[in-house]
Amino acid sequence: MIVAIDGPSGSGKSSAARAVAARCGLTYLDTGAMYRSVALACLRRGVDPDDAEAVAGVARDVRIEFAPAGDGQRVIVDGEDATAAIRTPEVERAVSPVSANPSVREAMVALQRAYGERGGVVAEGRDIGTVVFPSAEVKVFLSASPEARARRRAVQRGGGDLARGRDVPVDAAAERAVLEDLVRRDEYDSTREASPLRPAKDAVRIDSSDLSFDEVVDRIVRLVEAAEGGPHERA
């Protein structure tokens, strides 16, 4: 069973994919973390993210592993725990040109398919249903309005977690800055030549702007159940 969840930043796909994987007994695969890991490795090795050839070399050479930890997952880059380091603003700035690099995509897609071959995967990203796993049994395109996505990201950065019902007050200026960054990244991800963000023709579209986290997860779990032919209990 392969479940592909694509969508823009802040649509809630990471939290939803993690929860769906837990409820359905599948393995969660965060492909955005892979592109972030390549970007981090470039920064650590002093490679300019816009130097396509040097970045391609890093992508072929870097070791990216996922290690289960409690109810989460650690990201190990070249043998070192990089779970927090791949979420910094520096990495966020470097990751757009890195993920638009066709050689990087080729290396990451090969890695993702190797994970998929073991079966039982919920993978989330931008091109999972269109390029990586075009024959996934379940394909979802999860979106939300830019405003709803910016608010979620701002809450997350302030230490809140809307998926777990932990809201925190956020500064309006901080929220606006997140919104501007999101709109810029959306534009970049959707218009790049290599695997632009777009829904697969056969993806089920879910707009999460006005849905609770549990409602989103329930909808996806129902699609998995329909594909598998059996219900999954709530965790």
Q: Kindly tell me which of 128 and 170 has the beta carbon lying closer to ligand DC.
A: 128
**DSSP per residue, the chain:** -EEEEE--TTSSHHHHHHHHHHHHT-EEEEHHHHHHHHHHHHHHTT--TT-HHHHHHHHHH--EEEEEETTEEEEEETTEE-TTGGGSHHHHHHHHHHHT-HHHHHHHHHHHHHHHHT--EEEEESSIIIII-TT-SEEEEEE--HHHHHHHHHHHHTT-BGGGTB-----HHHHHHHHHHHHHHHHHHHH-SSS-----TTPEEEE-TTS-HHHHHHHHHHHHHHHHTS-----
Pairing of strands 2-6, 80-81: unpaired
Q: How far is the CB of 233 from ligand DC (least distance, A)?
A: 29
Question: Which residues within the stretch 165-204 sit at the binding site for ligand DC (CB under 6 A)?
Answer: 185, 189
Separation CA 21–CA 65 (nearest Å): 18
Rule CB under 6 A: is residue 36 a binding residue for ligand DC?
yes
Rule CB under 6 A: is residue 103 a binding residue for ligand DC?
no
Rule CB under 6 A: is residue 11 a binding residue for ligand DC?
no
Q: Kindly tell me which of 6 and 175 has the beta carbon lying closer to ligand DC.
A: 6
What is the per-residue binding string for ligand DC in 108-147, x denoting contact by CB under 6 A?
-----------------xxxx-------------------
Q: Kindly tell me which of 23 and 105 has the beta carbon lying closer to ligand DC.
A: 105
Q: Which of 2, 9, 144, 200 binds ligand DC (CB under 6 A)?
A: 9
Residue 54 in tokens:
């040097």
Q: Kindly tell me which of 25 and 190 has the beta carbon lying closer to ligand DC.
A: 190
Q: Candidates 55-63, 92-100, 138-146, 227-235 — which segment interacts with ligand DC by CB under 6 A?
A: 92-100
Q: Kindly tell me which of 96 and 103 has the beta carbon lying closer to ligand DC.
A: 96
Q: Kindly tell me which of 99 and 143 has the beta carbon lying closer to ligand DC.
A: 99
Binding residues for ligand DC, per CB under 6 A?
9, 31-32, 35-36, 95-96, 99, 125-128, 185, 189
